[in-house]
């Protein structure tokens, strides 16, 4: 049975008791989970350069199996399209205009990105990702939708310092299902630098897996944070974070914060 919002937010998925109860309710998911745990342990041993190196290897493995499932675990192309449409519609409803300049952190295979590219003026979309494998799939998405004339930028990165981007250059920065896979030090790194490249009056939207219990992670892949942890982190870097209540009404399991320059 699907959990309601209150029970979902109070669950600590890292606890043994939760894992045992979940396994008893969903026995068919035990074997896939164990295979993933073994795969992740092996990748962590092979890639000791920190979380980015490890998660780049995870993305390479997932992309080799299914480029669409590698982005947010979409079980089908229909779901891939639906989640991308939801992200696009949300930003459109919040004022995204063709003249905006949009940076998408963790652009993946352009699940939402191809719609942003189609909507924006040529050269106004910049997508970055830690995975070269998924960026190759992003280029295929561009070709599939005939968007070459929009001249988007697609760039692999090793970190989120954003030091190769110019000051005050983006009116919208967007990260969907990125911080849900990031330890706190990577989120901190991004928030420490995103203000420099964010134009006056611009905003940075990001989703995260929200919990109201102890913060935790599962397999070093899925991270759960309290809202106040992330809002305090933004404030430490001179930014203001606002919880986006209207996003909560949409059919998506993550929550969203909007970060702007502090008053």
Residue 4: what pLDDT?
Answer: 42
Please list the residues that pair with 255 across neighbouring strands. Answer: 208
Q: Classify strands 125-129 and 216-218 as parallel, antiparallel or unpaired.
A: unpaired
Q: Classify strands 255-261 and 239-243 as parallel, antiparallel or unpaired.
A: antiparallel
Residue 41: what pLDDT?
Answer: 75
5-261: CATH topology: Rossmann fold (3.40.50)
- Domain locations in the chain as residue ranges: 5-261
What's the Cα-to-Cα distance from 17 to each of 14, 20, 23, 214, rounded to whole Å? 9, 5, 10, 15
Q: How far apart are CA 178 and CA 157, in angstroms?
A: 14
End-to-end CA distance of the chain: 44
Residue 45: what pLDDT?
Answer: 77
Q: Which residues of 73-102 are buried (b: 16+ CB within 10 A; e: fewer)?
A: ebeeeeebbebbeebbebbeeeebeeebbb
Q: What is the pLDDT along the chain (263 residues), one digit of tens a residue?
A: 234 454 567 676 666 666 667 566 767 766 776 777 787 777 777 777 788 887 777 777 777 777 766 565 656 788 889 999 999 999 999 999 999 999 999 999 999 999 999 999 999 999 999 999 999 999 999 999 999 999 999 999 999 999 999 999 999 999 999 999 999 999 999 999 999 999 999 999 999 999 988 898 887 778 999 999 999 999 999 999 999 999 999 988 899 999 999 76
Q: What is the pTM of this model?
A: 0.85
Residue 2: what pLDDT?
Answer: 36
Residue 22: what pLDDT?
Answer: 57
Residue 69: what pLDDT?
Answer: 60
Residue 3: what pLDDT?
Answer: 41
């Amino acid at each position: 049975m699907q959990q309601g919002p209150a029970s979902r937010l109070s669950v600590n998925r890292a606890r043994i008791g939760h894992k045992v109860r979940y396994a008893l309710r969903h026995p068919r998911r035990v074997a896939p989970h164990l295979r993933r745990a073994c795969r992740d342990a092996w990748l962590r041993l092979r890639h000791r350069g920190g979380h980015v190196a490890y998660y780049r290897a995870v993305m390479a493995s997932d992309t080799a199996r299914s480029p669409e499932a590698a982005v947010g675990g979409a079980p089908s192309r229909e779901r891939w399209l639906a989640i991308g449409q939801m992200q696009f519609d949300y930003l459109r409803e919040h004022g995204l205009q063709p003249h905006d300049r949009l940076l998408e952190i963790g652009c993946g295979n352009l699940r939402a990105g191809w719609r942003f590219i189609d909507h924006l003026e040529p050269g106004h979309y910049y997508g970055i990702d830690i995975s070269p494998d998924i960026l190759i799939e992003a280029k295929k998405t561009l070709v599939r939708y005939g968007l070459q004339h929009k001249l988007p930028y697609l760039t692999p990165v090793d970190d989120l310092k954003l030091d190769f981007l110019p000051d005050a250059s983006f009116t919208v920065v967007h990260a969907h299902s990125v911080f849900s896979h990031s330890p706190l030090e990577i989120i901190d790194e991004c928030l420490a630098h995103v203000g420099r490249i964010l134009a006056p009056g611009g905003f940075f939207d990001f989703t995260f897996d929200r919990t109201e219990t102890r913060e935790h992670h599962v397999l070093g892949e899925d991270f759960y944070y309290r809202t106040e942890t992330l809002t305090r982190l933004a404030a430490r870097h001179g930014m203001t974070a606002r919880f986006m209540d209207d996003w909560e009404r949409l059919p998506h399991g993550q929550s969203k914060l909007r970060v702007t320059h502090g008053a």
